[in-house]
């Protein structure tokens, strides 16, 4: 079901839609972007409160919009649907049944979706994002109300900058979402983690001895802002995906000083270069894991041009221990990509990535078990599936278990497991931000088989039936419930 006003032209259009729906609160008093805004936002998210527009931040020259995606309702509004499951259903209908399974199936499935919808980005000659231009000595990142979100953060960070790069040899574009530490009025630390596509682009540029052009857009159409976080295969353009979600092509404009394109309706754009071989200490930063990530050397962006709309609005996000705004974003990704994950691993009936596990740390999967060690086969498949390879814990349950009911999942995991037989321990890559692994980038993983065990798996006692009430008695009690007088 389409949402009124969708697709949104840009951020301001989305803010207006949120305000009409009673989902936006304007904070009219001065508020400090150093810590104070973070505390206000954290309390608002915990209360499932509205999106916030800080009209008078005490740093910068523009209002700050935040918590835009902080509930499932607003996340659905951002993508123009009543429920994000609608998008997964659309993709599922388009990609089945003739496509091959496996990774090639995902690529072909996404390609088919994009081709059918015919939604490549559209180049325009002039754009609102270039109404105001600052060059050279006029560039000042202090115009932006960047945040210090936690007391021990290394400084000011810009947390929702959509970063654009191109592969220096193939020309393939990447749109990614990375935190950006403000080192000076004209330089930013680029937190390009080891598994990210922009890291690969930068490595090629360094190998060639070239500087890498970079453009960063703030305050985009919410579909574009979401698409920057989507775990797409490297050969699928994020703007093609955004066009599919919008049902309309995304307007792009050439940057003024670098050979890249950015969304025409962005609020703010930064243009510049990363020099080969240059690193500066970046961090610490209180990240979505709920812990500070340590100081590490990362590439540096030299900003040589800043463009904005007239009266721009800056967009950011607070990350920390769940719950935070990125929870509904992760849930949307889980639901949207389910049919594509099923192309890769057809055994999967449903899956869930609990927010408390910051999504990538834990995956709960249901399967229709058909043969011995089927659960272990699925665990291995998940650990070979793109960014799901970073999962530290996989719990596999039978298909009659609701993977989103964590009480039921816990009941199965606590009741159905003999840890001498049903626990699979291995090692593999973990998230760059993971603090628990004894070595950075790799560590231990566990798979828990919480399915019913088969005789062919060595279980010879006869698996007991679960004690549940008969349908006839349940229907009888439903019918007579008011007679019992139980409130």
Active-site residues: which are they? 287
What whole-number distance in Å separates Cα of residue 262 and Cα of residue 257? 12
Give the residue from 337, 315, 324 showing the smallest Cα distance to 289: 324
188's CB contacts (< 8 A; 6+ apart) are 141, 158, 180, 181, 182, 216, 270, 300, 301, 303
Distance in Å from the first CA to the final CA of the chain: 36
Is there a cis peptide before residue 445, judged by omega within 30 degrees of 0? no
What whole-number distance in Å separates Cα of residue 167 and Cα of residue 164? 10
Listing DSSP states for 347-390 in one string gives TEEEEE--GGGTTTSEEEEEE---STTHHHHHHHHHTTSGGGGG
Asked if residues 434 and 289 have their Cβ atoms less than 8 Å apart, the reply is yes
φ and ψ at 351, to 5 degrees?
Answer: -150, 160
Residue that the structure tokens 């229907």 belong to: 475
422's CB contacts (< 8 A; 6+ apart) are 416, 448, 449, 450, 453
CA distances from 78 to 49, 51, 218, 223, 396 (A): 16, 12, 16, 6, 32
What whole-number distance in Å separates Cα of residue 481 and Cα of residue 487? 10
What whole-number distance in Å separates Cα of residue 427 and Cα of residue 458? 26
Give the residue from 299, 316, 28 showing the smallest Cα distance to 149: 316
Q: Give the dihedral of Cα atoms 298, 299, 300, 301; nearest 10 deg.
A: -130
Give the three-state DSSP class for 62: coil
**DSSP assigned state of 289:** T
């Amino acid at each position: 079901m389409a949402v009124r006003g969708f697709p949104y032209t840009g951020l301001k259009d989305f803010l207006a839609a949120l305000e009409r729906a009673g989902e936006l609160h304007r904070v009219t008093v001065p508020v400090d972007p150093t810590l104070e805004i973070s505390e206000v936002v954290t309390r608002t998210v915990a209360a499932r409160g509205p999106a916030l527009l800080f009209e008078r931040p005490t740093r910068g020259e523009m209002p700050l919009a935040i918590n835009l995606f902080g509930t499932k309702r607003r996340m659905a509004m951002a993508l123009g649907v009543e429920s994000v499951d609608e998008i997964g259903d659309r993709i599922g209908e388009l990609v089945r049944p003739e496509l091959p399974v496996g990774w090639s199936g995902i690529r072909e499935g996404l390609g088919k979706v994009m081709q059918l919808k015919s939604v490549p980005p559209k180049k325009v000659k002039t754009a609102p994002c270039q109404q105001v231009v600052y060059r050279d000595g006029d560039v000042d990142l202090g115009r932006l109300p960047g945040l210090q979100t936690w007391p021990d953060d290394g400084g000011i960070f810009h947390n929702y900058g959509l970063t654009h790069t191109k592969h220096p040899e193939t020309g393939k574009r990447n749109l990614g979402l990375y935190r950006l530490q403000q080192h000076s009025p004209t330089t930013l630390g680029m937190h390009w983690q080891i598994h990210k596509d922009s890291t690969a682009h930068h490595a090629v540029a360094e190998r060639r001895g070239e500087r890498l052009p970079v453009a960063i857009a703030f305050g985009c159409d919410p579909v574009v802002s979401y698409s920057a976080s989507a775990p797409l295969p490297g050969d699928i353009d994020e703007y093609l995906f955004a066009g599919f979600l919008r049902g309309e092509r995304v307007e792009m404009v050439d940057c003024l000083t670098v050979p890249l394109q950015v969304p025409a309706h962005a609020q703010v754009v930064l243009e510049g270069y990363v020099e080969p071989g240059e690193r500066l200490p970046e961090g610490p930063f209180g990240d979505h894991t709920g812990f500070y990530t340590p100081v590490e050397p990362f590439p540096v962006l030299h900003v040589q041009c800043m463009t904005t709309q007239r009266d721009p609005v800056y967009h950011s996000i607070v990350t920390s221990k769940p719950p935070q705004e990125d929870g509904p974003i992760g849930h949307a990704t889980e639901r949207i990509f389910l049919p594509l994950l099923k192309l890769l691993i057809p055994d999967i009936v449903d899956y869930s990535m609990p927010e408390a596990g910051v999504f990538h740390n834990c995956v709960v999967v249901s399967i229709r078990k058909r043969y011995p060690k089927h659960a272990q086969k699925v665990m291995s498949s998940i650990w070979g599936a793109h960014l799901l390879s970073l999962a530290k814990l996989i719990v596999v349950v039978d298909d009659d278990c609701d993977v989103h009911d964590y009480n039921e999942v816990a009941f199965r995991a606590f009741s159905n497991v003999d840890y001498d037989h049903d626990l699979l321990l291995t090692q593999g890559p973990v998230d760059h931000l993971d603090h628990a692994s004894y070595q950075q980038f790799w560590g231990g993983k566990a798979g828990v088989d919480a399915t019913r065990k088969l005789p062919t798996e060595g279980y010879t006692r006869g698996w007991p039936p679960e004690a549940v009430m008969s349908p006839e008695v349940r229907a009888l009690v439903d019918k007579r419930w008011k007679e019992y007088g139980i409130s």
